[in-house]
A and B are shown apart, each in its own frame.
Chain A
């Protein structure tokens, strides 16, 4: 079993839809959870960062962490064509250590 599982998609939605992206993980020591957005041939861009369990909201984006289920989610409201990208979940057990990434989910939002 891989440490971090993420459905690669692709996921196609119409503009304005609510998008739900998810990752599961196996290592209960993970405490830091991130979501990155990556456009083709570009480096990852940090979208959301959550420590431990709970929810975090930033504009149209909401990140949720459920440590009891080892499950994290990213919700995108009112999706836009500019949201079309690959979304990577990443996590680590300690601050300052390397991240373990999911495979990434490719999202396409059509206008």
Chain B
């Protein structure tokens, strides 16, 4: 149980285009999802916290107009990177917390974004 999926697993896009990444909790309801970013040989850094039915909370330095987050249901959150640039190339990982077990966080497999 407690499986989180992400789609796509990798994506290559041209500079200036937008990319949408989906995060789904497959077998549980997630009231809260988190979006992290990981650059090579670096740790996971929190980008934003996404709560179902409300606006996402962004960390300092993360542009909310560039990284659009939508948590439309208890099993789906999406991250849209708008007008992507090469410096946005990174590994994007989501995690989800079950409404029944708030102390454990389950991570998706990640999405590798390369912007040319």
Q: Are A43 and B107 in contact (CB under 8 A)?
A: yes
Count how many chain B residues have C-beta atoms less than 8 Å from C-beta atoms of the other chain.
25
Within 8 A of B (CB), among A52-111: 88, 90, 95-96, 98-104
Q: Which residues of chain B have C-beta atoms less than 8 A from A30's C-beta? A: none
Binding site for B on A (CB under 8 A): 6, 8, 32, 34, 36, 41-46, 49, 51, 88, 90, 95-96, 98-104
Q: Mark B89-108, 1 if CB is under 8 A from A, else 0.
A: 00101010100001111111
Q: Are A44 and B103 in contact (CB under 8 A)?
A: no
Residue ID in chain A nearest B45 by CB atoms: A101
B110 to chain A, nearest CB (A): 5
The majority secondary structure among interface residues of chain B is strand
Binding site for A on B (CB under 8 A): 4, 6, 32, 34, 41-46, 49, 91, 93, 95, 97, 102-110, 112
Give how many A-B residue pairs fall within 8 Å (CB-CB): 53
Expressed in whole angstroms, the Cα–Cα distance for A8 and B40 within the complex equals: 12
Sorted nearest first, the 7 A-B pairs with minimum C-beta distance are A96-B102, A95-B103, A95-B102, A43-B107, A43-B109, A101-B43, A43-B110
Partner of B44, one of A32, A45, A101: A101
Expressed in whole angstroms, the Cα–Cα distance for A70 and B98 within the complex equals: 28
Q: Which residues of chain B have C-beta atoms less than 8 A from A99's C-beta? A: 34, 44, 46, 95, 105
Expressed in whole angstroms, the Cα–Cα distance for A100 and B97 within the complex equals: 15
